[in-house]
Amino acid sequence: MSELEILYKCDSPYIIRFFSAFFVENRISICTEFMDGGSLDVYKRIPEHVLGRIAVAVVKGLTYLWSLKILHRDVKPSNMLVNTRGQVKLCDFGVSTQLVNSIAKTYVGTNAYMAPERISGEQYGIHADVWSVGISFMELALGMFPYPQPLQLLQCIVDEVSRRLMCFCI
């Protein structure tokens, strides 16, 4: 399922609104609503009361996608847009996919936000998007990415983070 198909199919206040698409110099350009606050990756530490409202919008957007059997697969702060009215919407469905039997298995997305099962090459479902949301909210709450950077991070996620997170939650 292409990004255009997903955008055309979606009708949710938590998903960026699609207007049209056209070719420019052999490239497809997509016209969507303008979110004048930009993406959340440019903001520093976000206060808890604001982050709570962001979390509600992001989870509602993902729940809507999942109801259509669509897995985002690239949830991260740069794919969460905000406007000056306080609306938060998900965008960038370039690596999203249609779920078949609630399972996906291809390796796409941004490594730093990937769930352990995705990095390990195992099958995955909506819980992989949930992992990415958790990492994203930690980053927004802390004002910085919560773990070591790329190469160290991949191994850390698979070997260490799951165990530490489990201990933290118990």
> Of 1.10.10.1100, 1.10.510.10, 3.40.630.30, 3.40.50.300, which CATH number belongs to 3-169?
1.10.510.10
Q: Where are the domains of the chain?
A: 3-169
Instruction: Give me the catalytic one of 11, 36, 41, 74.
Output: 74
Structure tokens at 47: 């206060």
More confident: 97 or 31: 31
The residue type at 108:
V
- Which string of DSSP letters, residue by residue, matches 92-120? --TT-EE-BTTBB----S-GGG--HHHHT
Q: What is the number of other CB atoms lying within 10 angstroms of the CB of residue 52?
A: 11
Work out the pLDDT band at 98, boundaries 50, 70, 90: low
| Phi, psi dihedral angles at 15 (to 5 degrees) | -120, 135
Q: Which own/partner pairs from 16-23 qualify as long-range (CB within 8 Å, at least 24 positions apart)?
A: 16/81, 16/89, 16/90, 16/91, 17/89
Weakest mean pLDDT among 11-25, 117-131, 133-147, 150-164: 150-164
CA distances from 162 to 111, 116, 159 (A): 16, 8, 7
Write out the two tokens for 52.
């709570």
Residue 129 has pLDDT above 80, yes or no: yes
129 is a catalytic site residue: no
User: Which tens digit of pLDDT belongs to each residue from 6-43?
Assistant: 888 899 999 999 999 888 888 888 898 999 999 999 99
What is the four-CA torsion angle of 42, 44, 50, 51, rounded to 10 degrees? 80
Q: 156 by DSSP, 3-state: which?
A: helix
